[in-house]
Amino acid sequence: MREAYNNFYVEPLKEDQEFKEFYVERQGVVSPMIDLKGRIELASRKEKYLFLGFRGSGKSTELYRLEAALDKSRFLVVNYSIREDLNLSDFDFRDFFVSMALKIYDIASARGILLNPDIEKDFQDFTKKITNITEEEVTSQSSVGLSWSKIILLKLSREKTTRDCLRKELDQKISDLIQKVNWLILDIEDKSKMDLVIIVDDLDKLARGDQSENFFYKNYPLLIEPSCFVVYTFPIHLAFHPQYENVRHAFTSHVVLLQMPIEKKNGEKHEAGRKFYADVILRRINPELMEDGVLEYAIESTGKLTELVDIMKEASLIAHRNGQKQIAEKDVTTALDKLRMTFDRTLTEDHKKKLLEINSCKEAREDGPDSVLTRELLFSLTAVEYEDEDEGRWCAVNPMLIPLVEKWSRSL
């Protein structure tokens, strides 16, 4: 049980050994990794892509697979998460472009690529000016082993004064920054004889207020300016926004990783989806550690990847705590009830009514005032969009919430 508990971690798979042990292919759909890899390898232009998916659907794992799969003799890959270096509670597009520039600068150092001295000095001087960092600060921090770019990123994430200074400086100079980024890219690609691929993860985690809408819908012309391949993770709930079509066409393509359904739109069992979830769990636990019917019950009650793994982790803990040799259905129920209580407390009456409507019509795409409610439900993963070849796209209430939906239908 201890090994199973530790296998049920909700973290992206990164290493070859993890892929071998735990990765499960989705049947009936082209892997986003295969899709993006093919596009990048065939493209003669430096294309920009949006990668859509619900939080916890496995996007980061697919991006690590993409990084590993790209030909290392042709491509230099910079794969990073905005959560590593930026303050997400005070996120701004100007901070983002500085962090991207520094990640590009770092890849040259990491690969031993000697930058053109004029380009390097110009970039360093510009960055020092917009962040108001002094030579004394650089020297002091360098003495403890921090790189020049890491020093700036730490100040940017931790110091509001640094962020305020940078944003003020870049108000009229953002195009200058992007020009310097492109000089770095061209120099790196020329020296290495390789194409640069930037993968930006966790942009779908922007959650405060209108962060994600402002970032993508106000700044998308800037996002296509870097002169290299770029893959941006994109919050799937924004695909329900009226402006999405305008933004989508600015990028070369969009690639979607949808949740695998456990039921078809007509209510029949979706066997491929159920097999996918079962395989994910059986890669992590000996089936003899579960009572008969437990796995099927857990899949029926969740139908979302990270939620299912979370529930099984909690259930294995409960079983261990009770001195059981197997996970019982009651352990899964206890874990489910704990998670359901959170949703029941936080959803408003309007949210609940909208979920009842979605549960009835299996549709969420619409214009008008209710579209904001829909995006909030999709972002919180209380509503989920699915797709298959036979029935196209449809929306459904998170299967975990069905007992609550039944309760709300009697009271609202």
Q: Which amino acid type is present at position 103?
A: K
In sequence order, what are the residues at sequence separation of 6 or more whose Cβ sits closer than 8 angstroms to the Cβ of residue 59? 32, 51, 53, 201, 204, 233, 257
User: Do 224 and 196 reside in the same domain of the chain?
Assistant: yes
Read off the pLDDT band of 121 (50, 70, 90): very high
pLDDT number for residue 367:
55
Residues above pLDDT 70, as percent of the chain: 96
Can you give the residue range of the structural domain that contains 230?
30-257
Q: In this structure, what are the phi and psi dihedrals at residue 191, rounded to the nearest 5 degrees?
A: -70, -40
Q: Ranked by mean pLDDT, which of 134-148, 197-211, 293-307 comes out on top? A: 293-307
Boundary (domain end) residue, out of 206, 224, 257: 257
Indicate whether 228 pLDDT > 90. Answer: yes
- Distance of alpha carbon 205 from alpha carbon 234, whole angstroms: 9
Boundary (domain end) residue, out of 198, 223, 257: 257
- Distance of alpha carbon 163 from alpha carbon 147, whole angstroms: 19
Find the mean pLDDT for residues 70-87.
Answer: 94
The CA-based diameter of the chain, rounded to the nearest angstrom, is 71
User: Do 233 and 276 reside in the same domain of the chain?
Assistant: no
User: Do 130 and 205 reside in the same domain of the chain?
Assistant: yes
- Distance of alpha carbon 210 from alpha carbon 201, whole angstroms: 19
Find the mean pLDDT for residues 60-88.
Answer: 95
DSSP class of residue 44? S
Question: Could you tell me the CA-to-CA distances from 329 to 7, 283, 297 in Å, in that order?
Answer: 20, 20, 7
Find the mean pLDDT for residues 65-71.
Answer: 96
- Range with lowest mean pLDDT among 138-142, 236-240, 310-314: 138-142
Contact criterion met (CB below 8 Å) for 332 and 315: yes
User: Do 12 and 70 reside in the same domain of the chain?
Assistant: no
**In terms of pLDDT, which residue wins out, 241 or 3?**
3
- Distance of alpha carbon 233 from alpha carbon 355, whole angstroms: 26
User: Do 19 and 137 reside in the same domain of the chain?
Assistant: no
DSSP class of residue 327? B
User: Do 23 and 34 reside in the same domain of the chain?
Assistant: no
User: Do 301 and 331 reside in the same domain of the chain?
Assistant: yes
For the chain, the average pLDDT equals 90
Boundary (domain end) residue, out of 196, 224, 257: 257
pLDDT number for residue 369:
46
Q: How many Cβ atoms sit within 10 Å of the Cβ of residue 119?
A: 15
| pLDDT, tens digit (0-9, with 9 covering 90-100), for 134-184 | 877 777 766 566 788 888 999 899 999 999 999 999 998 999 999 999 999
Indicate whether 124 pLDDT > 80. Answer: yes
pTM to 2 decimal places: 0.90
User: Do 35 and 155 reside in the same domain of the chain?
Assistant: yes
CATH of the domain at 96: 3.40.50
How many structural domains is the chain composed of? 2
User: Do 170 and 39 reside in the same domain of the chain?
Assistant: yes
Number of H helices, E strands in the chain: 20, 7
Read off the pLDDT band of 409 (50, 70, 90): confident
Q: What residues pair up with 255 in beta bridges, in sequence order?
A: 51
